[in-house]
């Protein structure tokens, strides 16, 4: 027997307002054709009045708890990944904690932008296996629309808002049983200027807007994601042929295709939601995971790999048996 963090529930939430590409073309000089051809995005959801990172995160957390058959009081650790917290402090995780009634346990945010959920999973997995908690909620939640420059067509068409959550439970399982088998996390701060926000409390005292050199980020993404997928599989002696599902960060359909090609993965094993949700940063992997669990594609026993890459740069992958 071995102690593992086992996935026992998933959930997600989206804002009410769906914004198809045609609406974006009314705001900036772009077209449905350009966005679909270059990114695969057809639609995104944008938070309206009263919808915040914490409200989306809370809805996703409640759905994940319900799927796990648990209540807030059963959760000892909340790790919330976001680059768009409700406030600079307190951590958005503490707002969710109070809303779901998990008061008294641990709750904090992690900042690794689009890789934030993978960092959250890595941290929660280590804390669960070291005995610091028995059950954890890991949440990725964003209202990226609030840090977009709505006059910059090179970025504003790419992102959307949403939240996804998972419940992990420390369990003693058989060697071939369920749970997180390996995680790999990386960062390289030399590439800060390729993807960043031009503001913050300690520099401009403003929130700032997303700035990205898309073509350069694209190149790094394909190389780093293929590398980290290969190494997380190698860690447990597996290859891409063993994988049932890849749940990637949903930034661009062309990145998903190029990464799958590099690893020799069949496209039908890749979960794609970028067409519906656009890039929701830290929310994109758990949103896609919940989508594929709820529509019945991902089943108990499946071997699933999660991966993401984002600002920093940061990137990572996690391998789990469901």
Residues of this chain that bind ligand UT7 (CB under 6 A):
30, 34, 38-39, 114, 153-154, 157-158, 214-215, 217-218, 221, 251-252, 255, 279, 309-310
Question: What residues are labeled active site?
Answer: 114, 249, 279
Query: Nearest approach, Cβ of 159 to ligand UT7 (angstroms)?
Result: 8
Cβ count within 10 A of residue 204: 11
Q: Residue 92 or 252: which CB sits closer to ligand UT7?
A: 252
For the bound state, the minimum distance from the C-beta of residue 241 to ligand UT7, rounded and expressed in Å, comes to 26
Q: Are 3 and 171 in contact (CB under 8 A)?
A: yes
CB-CB contact of 70 with 42 (8 Å): no
Q: Is the peptide bond before 90 cis (omega within 30 degrees of 0)?
A: yes
Minimum distance from CB of 32 to ligand UT7 (Å)?
10
Instruction: Report CA-CA distances (Å) from 70 to 8, 73, 84, 139, 268.
Output: 10, 8, 27, 16, 33
Give the Cα separation of 241 and 200 in Å (integer): 44
Q: How far apart are CA 171 and CA 221, in angstroms?
A: 34
Of the pair 34, 108, the CB lying nearest ligand UT7 is at: 34
Residue (of 176, 195, 179) closest to 187 by Cα position: 195
* DSSP code of residue 8: E
Shorter beta-carbon distance to ligand UT7: residue 129 or 211:
211
Least distance in angstroms from the C-beta of 212 to ligand UT7? 7
Structure tokens at 301: 């026993």
Contact 88, 201 (CB under 8 A): yes
Q: Which residue is nearest to ligand UT7 (CB)?
A: 214
Count of C-beta atoms within a 10 Å radius of residue 274: 27
Tell me how far, at minimum, the Cβ of 143 lies from ligand UT7, in Å.
15
Nearer to ligand UT7, 257 or 302 (CB): 257
Which H or E element spans position 161? strand 161-173
Listed residue (289, 281, 282) closest to 244, CA to CA: 289
Give the residue with the Cβ less far from ligand UT7, 7 or 221.
221
Strand order through the sheet with 245-248: 179-187, 314-321, 303-310, 245-248
Shortest Å, Cβ 230 to ligand UT7: 19
């Amino acid at each position: 027997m071995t102690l593992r963090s086992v996935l026992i529930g998933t959930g997600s939430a989206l804002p009410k307002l769906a914004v198809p590409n045609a609406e974006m073309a009314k705001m900036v000089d772009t077209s449905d054709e350009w966005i679909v051809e270059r990114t695969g995005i057809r639609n995104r959801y944008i938070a309206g009045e009263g919808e915040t990172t914490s409200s989306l995160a809370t809805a996703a957390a409640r759905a994940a708890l319900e799927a796990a058959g648990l209540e807030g009081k059963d959760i000892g650790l909340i790790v919330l990944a976001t680059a768009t917290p409700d406030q600079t402090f307190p951590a958005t995780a503490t707002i969710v904690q109070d809303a779901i009634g998990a008061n008294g346990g641990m709750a904090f945010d992690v900042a690794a932008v689009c890789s934030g959920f993978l960092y959250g999973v890595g941290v929660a997995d280590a804390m669960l296996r070291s005995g610091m908690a028995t059950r954890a909620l890991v949440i990725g939640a964003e209202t990226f629309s609030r840090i977009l420059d709505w006059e910059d067509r090179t970025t504003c068409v790419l992102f959307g808002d949403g939240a996804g959550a998972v419940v992990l439970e420390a369990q003693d399982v058989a060697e071939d049983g369920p749970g997180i088998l390996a995680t790999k996390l990386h960062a390289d701060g030399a590439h800060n200027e390729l993807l960043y926000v031009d503001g913050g409390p300690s520099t401009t005292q403003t929130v700032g807007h997303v700035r990205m050199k898309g073509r350069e980020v694209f190149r790094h993404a394909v190389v780093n994601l293929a590398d980290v997928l290969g190494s997380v599989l190698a860690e447990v002696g597996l290859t891409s042929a063993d994988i049932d599902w890849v749940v990637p960060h949903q930034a661009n359909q062309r990145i998903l295709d190029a990464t799958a090609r590099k690893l020799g993965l069949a496209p039908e094993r890749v979960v794609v939601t970028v067409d519906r949700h656009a890039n929701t940063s830290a929310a994109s992997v758990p949103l896609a995971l919940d989508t594929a669990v709820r529509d019945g594609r991902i089943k108990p026993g499946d071997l699933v790999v999660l991966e993401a890459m984002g600002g920093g740069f940061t990137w990572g992958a996690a391998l789990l048996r469901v």
